[in-house]
Amino acid sequence: MLTDKKSKELMDEIVGLCKRKGFVFQSSEIYGGYNGFFDYGPLGAELKKNIKDAWWQDMVQRRDDVVGIDSSIIMNPSIWKASGHVDGFTDPMIDCKESKMRYRADHLFFAEVRIAGEMLGVVSLIESPEMLDEAKKKAEKLKRKLAIKGDLDEIVLICAVDATPEQYEQIPSPATGKAGTLTPPREFNMMFDTHVGAVRNDASKAYLRPETAQGIFANFKNVTDTSRLKLPFGIAQIGKAFRNEITPRNFIFRSREFEQMEIEYFIHEDSDWKTIHADWIKTRREWFTSIGLTSEFLGEEVHPSESLAHYARACTDITFKFPFGEQELEGIAARGNFDLTQHQEKSGKGLEIFDEASKSKLLPHVIEPSLGVDRTFLALICSAYTKDEIDGELRTLLKLHPRIAPVKAAIFPLVKKNENILQISNDLYKKLQRHLNVVTDLSGAIGRRYRRMDEIGTPFCITVDFESLEDNTVTIRDRDTTDQKRINLEEVLPFLLGKVNG
RNA sequence: GCGGGCAUAGUUUAGGGGUAAAACCCCAGUCUUCCAAACUGGUGUCGGCGGUUCGAUUCCGCCUGCCCGCACCA
């Protein structure tokens, strides 16, 4: 593992490269920026598109059991009430005025300490698997301090969000042990809201979606009615999502506007969901390595059962070791049929489907592989970023997989004073351009042109030289090895297509 | 939200109450028959707003953004 200083330097270099070469810009930069938002430049837009295309090809086109949709970002606000986001997508926060510590209200627990009903005081602690034992210890300590005899009543832990106002005043700060220093919980919904229509009032309030998943659930009936799907099947979607994050951090890793790629994979309620869940984890991990993520940087984190949402049975994150730490790339949750149940109930529309195999009507359960495009983007750049030495000269390169590299090949005339070389080069460029994102570059020494391409991750450089005039061959140079071989002009396109699609 | 630091060209940095600089990059040209050659020329900069001042990029205040730590992270 890199030292903090080294990893910070590395991250700075990567952010610098992204800016310098036109991958990622800070949003609204000419107005001083805008915290938590980013813009993708010419190369970034290509790379991002390639990630999404690869995912769509592998998860939708090349599978018989998955179809795609593209739902609107602003939907009937009832959807977000049914899904629980209006009430639940909050992080109520409590500050300790004295210690300046901040707690999430739903992570803060307290217990009243009593002996035979007589109140001795209140203890508080932060949620953990051992918190009941800790509470008992704190209660015993309180008893000794007050020099009171007798057996303690049973300790009952209560979450701070469930405290009555009278109880709340009694809760001591976990940091100082003193009561009265905690601010009331401040509600904070992470959904951005807006208004639809000419009138701005409570009735016109709408939300920017915080996840793409609900667009899938809300269209469940439309899709199953029109697509002749049989269980198990998946519905996939790529799209923007918005969350009013308190602290956007780590470049594009946590931003307020981001893009998700989600699949809701519907399964029979009696099926072996553990196996299907495990299969998806494997499928998704293999996909990450197939597009060039360094497999040693990938990890898995299984959510402990006590921290799962009440409707989820299991959730495993696929993580990536970024320079700033190991962080979630994709969450693969087994969610039961909570969402469909909610939408069926709140909309009043029957959403059950008939399963031929079991001859039963049911609301299927769901496995949800959900990942961030932007996080994948960053993980790919981090995986690809390399520095090496060519004949004593330091070079920077991005070892991006040809499938996702923004530019697939560069076509160079070795010299720009020879009309015939220019002609062949330009003809080849125009021909390749019809199939692939390619560039041409006539300026400067050939070595400089190679290095320019290395730095943006272009996997192949094709040079038209004097020999090309004799035998219709060109050199093709490999980015990672810098090795060159001669191939016939006619073979260039099939070669590149093979590398890009393979 | 809190505490600390920072903000000069595309990048890395120098400078200083009185006409703002270097290197690299980029562009054009000379040269050049395969890995950032050389030479010539060129574009481009003090985050924003306000205050002090004859004059502010420099001093002060506020704002915005970035970094580190705390906290937070469906």
Averaged pLDDT, A291-312: 83
* Contact between the CB of A418 and strand B at under 7 Å: no
Percent of chain A with pLDDT over 70: 92
**Which residues, 6 or more positions from A188, have their beta carbon under 8 angstroms from its beta carbon?**
A90, A91, A92, A93, A244, A246
Q: Give the domain CATH number at A488.
A: 3.40.50.800
The closest nt to A325, taking CA to C1', is B73
* Contact between the CB of A109 and strand B at under 7 Å: no
pLDDT at A182: 73
* Contact between the CB of A26 and strand B at under 7 Å: yes
Instruction: Give chain A's end-to-end CA distance (angstroms, integer).
Output: 32
Instruction: Quickly state the pLDDT bin for A111 (edges 50, 70, 90).
Output: confident
Q: Are residues A456 and A359 in the same domain?
A: no
pLDDT at A310: 66
Averaged pLDDT, A355-380: 94
The closest nt to A21, taking CA to C1', is B10
Residue A193 lies in a domain: no
Q: Which of A170, A196, A223 is the last residue of a domain?
A: A170
Cα–Cα nearest to A196, from A73, A41, A323 = A73
**Which residues, 6 or more positions from A424, have their beta carbon under 8 angstroms from its beta carbon?**
A413, A464, A468, A469, A474, A489
Cβ A171 vs Cβ A179: under 8 Å: yes
Which residue has its C-alpha nearest to nucleotide B12's C1'? A16
Q: Are residues A222 and A354 in the same domain?
A: yes
How many separate helices (H) and strands (E) can be counted in chain A? 15, 25
* Contact between the CB of A250 and strand B at under 7 Å: yes
CA–CA gap between residue A301 and residue A303 (Å, rounded): 6
As for the ipTM of the complex, it is: 0.91
Residue A395 lies in a domain: no
Least confident of A300-309, A357-366, A419-428: A300-309
**What is the count of structural domains for chain A?**
3
The closest nt to A12, taking CA to C1', is B67
Q: Are residues A311 and A219 in the same domain?
A: yes
A window 44-83: Cβ near strand B (< 7 A) = none
Q: B72 C1' – A298 CA distance, angstroms? A: 24
pLDDT at A89: 62
Which residue has its C-alpha nearest to nucleotide B74's C1'? A89
A425 has a pLDDT exceeding 50: yes
Residue A159 lies in a domain: yes
Cα–Cα nearest to A288, from A377, A393, A158, A402 = A377
C-alpha pair distances (Å), A440 with each of A314, A429, A463:
50, 7, 10
Q: Are residues A286 and A308 in the same domain?
A: yes
The closest nt to A465, taking CA to C1', is B33
C-alpha pair distances (Å), A391 with each of A334, A387, A451:
53, 13, 13
Residue A191 lies in a domain: no
A window 86-105: Cβ near strand B (< 7 A) = 88-89, 91, 93, 95, 100-104
Residue A32 lies in a domain: yes
Q: Are residues A57 and A151 in the same domain?
A: no
Instruction: State the burial class of residue A394 (Cβ atoms within 10 Å of its Cβ: 0-12, 13-18, 19+).
Output: exposed
pLDDT at A482: 94
A240 has a pLDDT exceeding 90: yes
Which residue has its C-alpha nearest to nucleotide B36's C1'? A448
Q: Which of A147, A170, A193 is the last residue of a domain?
A: A170
A window 115-154: Cβ near strand B (< 7 A) = 126
Least confident of A47-51, A305-309, A318-322: A305-309
Residue A203 lies in a domain: no
Q: Are residues A367 and A326 in the same domain?
A: yes
Q: Are residues A62 and A104 in the same domain?
A: no
Q: B15 C1' – A23 CA distance, angstroms? A: 32
Averaged pLDDT, A177-186: 70
Condensed to tens digits (0 to 9), the pLDDT of residues A406-415 reads: 999 999 999 9
Q: Are residues A73 and A111 in the same domain?
A: no
The closest nt to A475, taking CA to C1', is B34
Averaged pLDDT, A421-447: 94
CA–CA gap between residue A494 and residue A108 (Å, rounded): 61
Q: B74 C1' – A306 CA distance, angstroms? A: 15
A158 DSSP β-pair partners: A110
Residue A180 lies in a domain: no
CA–CA gap between residue A94 and residue A173 (Å, rounded): 10
CA–CA gap between residue A366 and residue A138 (Å, rounded): 42
Least confident of A90-104, A288-302, A329-343: A90-104
CA–CA gap between residue A458 and residue A452 (Å, rounded): 9
Cβ A371 vs Cβ A269: under 8 Å: no
What is the sign of the dihedral through the CA atoms of A354, A358, A359 and A360? negative
Q: Are residues A447 and A496 in the same domain?
A: yes
Protein-proximal nucleotides of chain B (any atom < 7 Å from a CB) = 1-2, 10-12, 26-29, 31-37, 47-48, 63-74
Percent of chain A with pLDDT over 90: 61
Cα–Cα nearest to A264, from A225, A210, A212, A191 = A212
The closest nt to A333, taking CA to C1', is B74
CA–CA gap between residue A495 and residue A475 (Å, rounded): 12
Buried b (16+ CB within 10 A) or exposed e, A351-369: bebebeeeeeebbbbbbbb
Instruction: Quickly state the pLDDT bin for A1 (edges 50, 70, 90).
Output: very low
* Residue A217 or residue A141, greater confidence: A217
Q: Which of A366, A381, A396 is the last residue of a domain?
A: A381
A window 463-492: Cβ near strand B (< 7 A) = 463-466, 474-475, 477, 482-484
Averaged pLDDT, A28-53: 92
Residue A360 lies in a domain: yes
A381 has a pLDDT exceeding 60: yes
Residue type at A296? E
A175 has a pLDDT exceeding 50: yes
The closest nt to A190, taking CA to C1', is B74
* Contact between the CB of A4 and strand B at under 7 Å: yes
Q: Are residues A464 and A369 in the same domain?
A: no
Cα–Cα nearest to A256, from A313, A210, A212 = A210
C-alpha pair distances (Å), A102 with each of A6, A29, A142, A263, A368:
30, 31, 24, 35, 32
What is the sign of the dihedral through the CA atoms of A372, A373, A375 and A380? positive
CA–CA gap between residue A67 and residue A274 (Å, rounded): 23
Average pLDDT, chain A: 88
The closest nt to A310, taking CA to C1', is B74
* Contact between the CB of A11 and strand B at under 7 Å: yes
Q: Are residues A444 and A360 in the same domain?
A: no
CA–CA gap between residue A139 and residue A154 (Å, rounded): 10
The closest nt to A450, taking CA to C1', is B35
Instruction: Provide the H-helix boundaries in A196-337.
Output: 213-218, 220-227, 273-290
Q: Are residues A337 and A215 in the same domain?
A: yes
**């260039």: which residue's tokens?**
A492
* Residue A297 or residue A1, greater confidence: A297
The closest nt to A396, taking CA to C1', is B36
Domain coverage including residue A164: 95-170
* Residue A121 or residue A161, greater confidence: A121
Residue type at A392? G
Cβ A416 vs Cβ A422: under 8 Å: yes
Percent of residues in chain A assigned helix, strand, coil, to nearest 5: 35, 30, 35
